[in-house]
Structure 1
Amino acid sequence: MILRILLIIVSLAHWHAQAATPVTSVTAHKNSIVYYGDISDAANEAVLELLNAHPKTFTTLAITSPGGEVNAGMDLGDMVFSHQLRVNIDDYCLSSCANYVFTAAPHHHISNRAVIGFHGGVTGMEDSFDTVVLTMPESQRAAAKATFANYIQNAIERQHRFFKKVGVDPTITTLGQAPVYNQHEASEAYVGWYYSIDDLHRLGVKHIEVINPPWKQRDLSQTVKFFKVSVPADRYHEDSAALAPKESHLK
C-alpha cells in the first residue's frame, strides 16, 4: 500500500504541484464515454463496465486528464485499443494520458486548443522516486527501493509490449529528455513537451483530426508550460518499435 501511494505521488507530482486535481468521473453521453480527472483503477473499472454492458454503443472516449500511475494509463490504453475507441480531446491530456491513451487510439479528434503534454514514460519515474524515497524513514528505504526496482522493470517490459502492439515509437515518451532539451527539462518554467501533428504521425500516432483548425498548442497556465520537441527526420516508429526494453538502473 505504501509503495502504491508513492507511485501515484511520483506519477502525478509535476501536474498536481501546479493545479488542483479534478475529481475523477466517468459518465456516458450518447456514443461517448466521458472521462474527467486522474486516470485510476476505479475509473478504468467504470469504463470497462460500460463497455461490457453496452458492447455496441460506445465508439469514443472523450478524456480530460492530468494522467495517472503508468499501469493504470496502460490499462486504459489497452481498452481504447482493444475496443478501437476514437479519442476526443477538447481541453487537455497529459503524462500517462498522452503516453498511453492518446497513442492507443486508431483515430483522434482534438480541438484547436487541446493540450497534449508528454512528460516521460516509465523510466522517467526513477529520479522522482529517488527524491520521494528520501522522505521515508531510513529503515524503510532499502525495502522500498528494492520493491520499486521490481515494479519499474515489469513496467518497462509492459510499456515495450504496449507500444509494439499499438504501433507507436516508444521514444515518444523520452525524446523530450534528449540533451538538446536539457535547458527546458531543467527549467521550472516547463513541466513537459509536445509534438507537432506531423511529428506525431512520424512516431506512429495517425488519423488526427483538428476541429476548426489550425491547432495551436497552448500552456495551461503560467506554471504549466510545454516546450516543443522536433522528431529527427530519420526517426520513424517502424525503426524503434522492435527495440528491446531497457533495464532499470535501480537494483
Structure 2
Amino acid sequence: MSGLKSTPLTFIIVSIAFLSGCSTVFPNLKQKHFVYLSDKKMVLNYTGKLNQKGLEEFRETFYSTKPFPRLLKISSVGGSAKIAMDMADIMLENNMDVHINKMCMSACANYIFLAGNRKFLEKDSLLVWHGGIQDITQVERLYESAIKNTKEKGQHTDYDLDEHSRNQPKINMSLQPSDLAEDKFNDHEQVKQKLLEKIQEYKETDIPELRIRSQKMYAAINVDPLIAVYGNYQKIPNPNTDTEDYYYNISGMTGFYYSLQDLEKMGVSGIELLVGKWFPNYPTHTFKVDMQKVEHQALPRL
C-alpha cells in the first residue's frame, strides 16, 4: 500500500504553512523550547518554538512565581497563532515587558512582541513577519494547497509535526486515534477523507474565531491589524526571472521587516533600544517593506 505506513499512527497531521522553511534558514534556533527564570525570578525566559507544551510551561512558571515576572525575554521562530495569542493575553493582563533576545518571527512578531508594554531590542534583534490569519486571501491560498496535497498523496506521519517539523510556522490539524478506528488506519482513502473534513472544519470554525480574537487584540493595543500582511502586497525583484513578484512566489524568500519609523506609524509603541541603536543584520531571504510600494488597494478588508 503506497503512501501510508502499516504500523498504527499516533497522529495524522495536515500542516498548512504560512511560510515554509523558517527554521531551516535560521538553523541556530533549535526547535525544542526552553522556559526558565533568571535575574532573581523577575525575568521569564522563552527560547524556541511556540507550542502547547511551551505555553503550559510558560503559564505554570509565570503563575507559580511570586511576585509575577515582569519581563519576558524571548527568542523564537514562531509557531501556533493561538498559542502566541494565549501568551500575549497573559502579558497584557499583567503589563509585562518583552525583550527580543535574538529573533522574534511570525506568530512571535504578530502577537508576543506587540503585547509587550516596553519592547526592548538588542542591537541585532530580528523582527520578521510573513503574513497571518488577518489575510483571508493568503489563508484561502494555503487551504487550496493543503486540499490539493491531501487529495494527491495525503499527509501523515507517526509523530506530531507540531513538535518536530522543520517547516515553521504553520497551522496544524491533528487526527487523534479517537478520530479514526484502529482497523481503518491503513485505509488511505478514508484517512484522506478524514483529513479533508478536518481541514474544512478548521477553516469554517477555528480560523474565523482566531481572526476575531486577533482583531480584538490589535484594537486593544492600538496597532494596525495589517502589520503582519503589508509585505504580502509589495512586489520585489525576483533574481530568478529578472522581473518583480510577491516574495512568497520567489524561491528561498521567507519574510519581511519594517523600519522603526514605520513600526511607530503602525502604532507600535514602547520600543527601547538597549544600546541606543538598532542595526540588525537581516539575511538576504528577507526584505524591508517599502510602504510606498505596497498595493494598498489590494489589502484585505477587515
Q: TM-score, normalised by structure 1?
A: 0.81
Matched, 1:6 2:10: no
Counterpart of 2:275? 212
Counterparts of 1:138-153 in structure 2, within 5 Å, are: 138-140=192-194, 142-150=196-204, 151-153=206-208
One-letter identity of the residue aligned with 1:49: E
How many pairs align?
A: 230
Change in Cα spacing, 1:130 to 1:217, as seen in structure 2 (3 Å) is farther
**Percent identity of paired positions between Structure 1 and Structure 2:** 22
* Partner Cα separation in structure 1 for residue 51 and residue 232 of structure 2: 26
Of the candidates 98, 106, 110, which is equivalent to residue 95 of structure 1? 106
Letter in 2 for 1:195: Y
Task: Name which of structure 1's ranges 104-113 and 174-183 shifts more when overlaid on structure 2.
Answer: 174-183
Determine if contact 1:118/1:193 at 8 Å carries over to the other structure: yes
Secondary structure of the 2:115 match is coil
Over residues 114-139 of structure 1, what are the superposed CA-to-partner deviations in whole Å (9 max), with x where a residue is unaligned?
10000111134442343233332453
- CA separation in 2, counterparts of 1:55 and 1:203? 35
Q: Quick one: which of 47, 50, 54 aligns to 1:43?
A: 54
Answering whether residue 146 of structure 2 is matched by residue 135 of structure 1, we say no
CA RMSD of aligned residues (A): 2.5
Q: Is the 8 A contact 2:109 2:128 kept in 1?
A: yes
Q: Is the 8 A contact 1:26 1:35 kept in 2?
A: yes
Q: More helix per residue: 1 or 2?
A: 1
Q: Which one of 225, 241, 247 corresponds to residue 184 of structure 1?
A: 247
More relative contact order, 1 or 2 (CA 8 Å, 6+ apart): 2
Which 10-residue stretch deviates more, 183-192 or 100-109? Answer: 183-192
Helix, strand or coil at the partner of 1:227: strand
Taking structure 1 as reference, are residues 169 and 2 closer, same or farther at Cα in structure 2, changes over 3 Å only? Answer: farther
Distance change (3 Å), C-alpha of 1:19 and 1:108: closer
* Cα shift at 1:244: 7.4
Match of 2:229 in 1: 174
Give the match for residue 297 of structure 2. none
Conserved? CA contact 1:32–1:61, under 8 Å: yes
CA distance in 1, matches of 2:212, 2:286: 28
The counterpart of 1:25, out of the listed 11, 24, 34, is: 34
Distance 1:217 1:128, change over 3 A: farther
Q: Which amino acid in structure 1 is aligned with residue 221 of structure 2?
A: V
Which stretch has the larger CA shift, 184-193 or 60-69? 184-193
Amino acid at match of 1:26: V
Name which of structure 1's ranges 119-128 and 34-43 shifts more when overlaid on structure 2.
119-128
Q: Which has the greater radius of gyration?
A: 2
- Alignment CA distance shift 1:79-1:213 (3 Å): same
| TM-score scaled by length of structure 2 | 0.69
Unaligned runs of at least 5 residues, structure 2: 1-9, 155-191, 237-244, 293-299
